[in-house]
Structures are given as structure tokens and as C-alpha cells.
Amino acid sequence: MKDYFDLYAKEEILNNHFFGPEDIIQHDKFFSNYFLLAKSKYSLSYHEEPVHSHVGHHAGMTEEEMMIPLIVF
């Protein structure tokens, strides 16, 4: 799968702030040991159904995660 995904250890993800500058302790509790990050339009699926497409996937629905700052010029 190396042509479609890059494999990272959790330490690489946290130390390079791939998901932002938030508190590393908070992320450390949530993250697994390894990550596969798609290089392009690819995704992994557990479904045996025909291929479907989606723009992205979000892991949670807490109020904090749904609040998005809006800057308008």
C-alpha cells in the first residue's frame, strides 16, 4: 500500500503537530500507535460494497469539534 499511503508512528504525528498545536497529552490519549495517511484521493473502507466517494471523515460530534471559526473579509 506504500504507493497510496504513508505510514507514520504516533510520535512523528505528535512531534510534528500534524493535527495542530493542541496539547500533546490530549492527542496522546486518543491516537493509536500508527497512522496511514493517504497520499491523494484514496481511503480505506471496511465495506464490501462498491466503491463510494466522500470528501472526508470526521471522528466526533462534540460541540467543541463542530464550532468552526469564521473570518470574513
Question: Poorest-confidence range of 2-6, 10-14, 47-51, 53-57?
Answer: 53-57
Residue carrying the nine cell digits 471523515? 57
Q: Is residue 21 part of a domain?
A: yes
Neighbours of 13 (CB within 10 A): 19
pLDDT tens-digit map of 60-71: 556 766 677 777
User: What whole-number percentage of the chain has pLDDT above 70?
Assistant: 71
> Looking at the 3D structure of the chain, how many domains does it have?
1
In a domain, 56, yes or no: no
State how far the Cα of 5 lies from the Cα of 22, in Å rounded to an integer: 25
Give the confidence band of 9 by pLDDT, cuts at 50, 70, 90: very high
- Give the max Cα distance, the chain: 45
- Residue 30 counted as domain residue: yes
Q: What pLDDT is attached to residue 7?
A: 92
Predicted model pTM? 0.54
- Structural domain range at position 30: 1-40
Q: Is 69 within a domain?
A: no
Question: Is position 2 within any domain?
Answer: yes
- In-domain check, residue 35: yes
User: 19 in a domain, yes or no?
Assistant: yes
Q: Let me know if residue 4 belongs to a domain.
A: yes
